[in-house]
């Protein structure tokens, strides 16, 4: 069994420092890895990222993150990445990492993702350059996520995004803003590989559980949705490929 802790949208700044720490101190008792599903900072300054590093660094388990839209707002992404990297937090964007848990290789592929909407109500690559650029951005990001998932050499695959790959976990949000909360292209990318679990944030008023059209379980771990420091998902043995289970 692999135990995955996850939370998104923690929006850390100085005023939040220490709030998560008591729960994080006991995290290694409950989980083997912590996933951070974007919007780590309030508006994407290097100073806020240093607060994230203080709060989520040195946990004793690997911490793997993607950035969110808030983490881009002040155009300080290089400084944000440096601060997180200095704390040993792995930040994914179109790539992946593998963590070994009791001999099982857990592969996590991640992207921030982007919007565009869902089947029947999605934006199209048509018309003004701005509109085409918007849709192309999501398409390119989704392609990178799919490639990263398919290329993983591991026993269990998990997809980590900030934007949602399905509309299910947006239930509770106004329908009018769904196109700004996610894209079916991310779901299609997740379904292109044998993914065991997809984790995202971004939708503060959304709901916890959903499923891609291909049957991959999706969990919205935005902090205001889960209302706890992190959620823990225990992936049972039948999510682990037969080669890993048999020790080959």
Partner 1 sequence: MNDYTEAEVQRALAEDLGVAEQGITVVRTEPGLVLCGEVESPHRRDEIVRLVHERFPGIEIAADIGVTRAAAPTEAEELA
Q: Does 235 bind partner 1 (CB under 8 A)?
A: yes
**Binder among 204, 207, 244, 245 for partner 1 (CB under 8 A):** 204
Q: Does 70 bind partner 1 (CB under 8 A)?
A: yes
* Residue whose tokens read 């388990």: 61
By CB atoms closer than 10 A (0-12, 13-18, 19+), residue 18 is exposed
Residue window 37-66: x/- pattern of binding to partner 1, with contact defined by CB under 8 A: -----xx-----------------------
Q: Does 162 bind partner 1 (CB under 8 A)?
A: no
Query: Is 105 or 223 the residue whose CB approaches partner 1 more closely?
Result: 223
Residue window 169-198: x/- pattern of binding to partner 1, with contact defined by CB under 8 A: ---------------------------xx-
| 213 touches 167 (CB < 8 A) | no
Give the sign of the dihedral formed by CA 86, CA 89, CA 95, CA 100. positive
| 27 touches 56 (CB < 8 A) | no
CB 13 → partner 1: shortest distance, Å?
8
Q: Does 224 bind partner 1 (CB under 8 A)?
A: yes
Q: What is the distance between the alpha carbons of residues 87 and 72, in angstroms, rounded to a whole number? A: 19
**Binder among 98, 171, 232, 245 for partner 1 (CB under 8 A):** 232
Q: Does 85 bind partner 1 (CB under 8 A)?
A: no
Start-to-end C-alpha separation, the chain:
17
Q: Does 233 bind partner 1 (CB under 8 A)?
A: yes
Query: How many C-beta neighbours within 10 Å does residue 150 have?
Result: 14
**Binder among 8, 27, 92, 157 for partner 1 (CB under 8 A):** 27
Query: Is 118 or 233 the residue whose CB approaches partner 1 more closely?
Result: 233
In the three-class reduction of DSSP (H, G, I as helix; E, B as strand; rest coil), residue 219 is classed as: strand
Q: Does 200 bind partner 1 (CB under 8 A)?
A: no
| 206 touches 182 (CB < 8 A) | no
| 158 touches 106 (CB < 8 A) | yes
**Binder among 19, 88, 119, 131 for partner 1 (CB under 8 A):** 19
Q: Does 227 bind partner 1 (CB under 8 A)?
A: yes
> Where would I find the H helices in the chain?
21-25, 27-30, 46-56, 77-86, 129-151, 184-191, 223-226, 242-245
CB 99 → partner 1: shortest distance, Å?
17
Interface positions with partner 1 (CB under 8 A): 3, 10-13, 15-16, 19-20, 22-23, 26-27, 30, 42-43, 70, 73, 196-197, 204-205, 217, 219, 223-224, 227-236, 238-239
């Amino acid at each position: 069994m692999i135990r995955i802790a996850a939370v998104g949208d923690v929006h850390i700044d100085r005023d939040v420092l220490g709030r998560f720490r008591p729960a994080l101190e006991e995290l290694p008792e409950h989980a083997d890895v912590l996933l951070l599903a974007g919007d780590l900072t309030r508006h994407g300054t290097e100073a806020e990222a240093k607060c994230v590093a203080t709060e989520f660094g040195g946990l004793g388990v690997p911490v793997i993150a993607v950035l969110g839209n808030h983490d881009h707002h002040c155009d300080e992404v290089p400084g944000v990445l440096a601060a997180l990297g200095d704390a040993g937090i792995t930040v994914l964007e179109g790539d992946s990492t593998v963590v070994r848990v009791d001999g099982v290789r857990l592969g996590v592929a991640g992207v921030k993702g982007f919007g565009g909407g869902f089947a029947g109500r999605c934006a199209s690559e048509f018309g003004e350059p701005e509109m085409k650029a918007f849709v192309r951005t999501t398409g390119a990001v989704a392609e990178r996520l799919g490639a990263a998932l398919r290329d993983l050499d591991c026993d269990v695959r998990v997809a980590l995004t900030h934007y949602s790959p399905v509309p299910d976990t947006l239930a509770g949000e106004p329908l009018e803003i769904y196109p700004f909360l996610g894209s079916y292209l991310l779901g299609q990318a997740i379904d292109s590989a044998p993914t065991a679990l997809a984790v995202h944030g971004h939708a503060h008023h959304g709901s916890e559980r959903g499923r891609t059209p291909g049957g991959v379980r999706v969990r919205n771990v935005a902090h205001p949705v889960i209302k706890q420091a992190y959620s823990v998902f225990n992936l049972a043995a039948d999510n682990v490929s037969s080669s890993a289970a048999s020790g080959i």
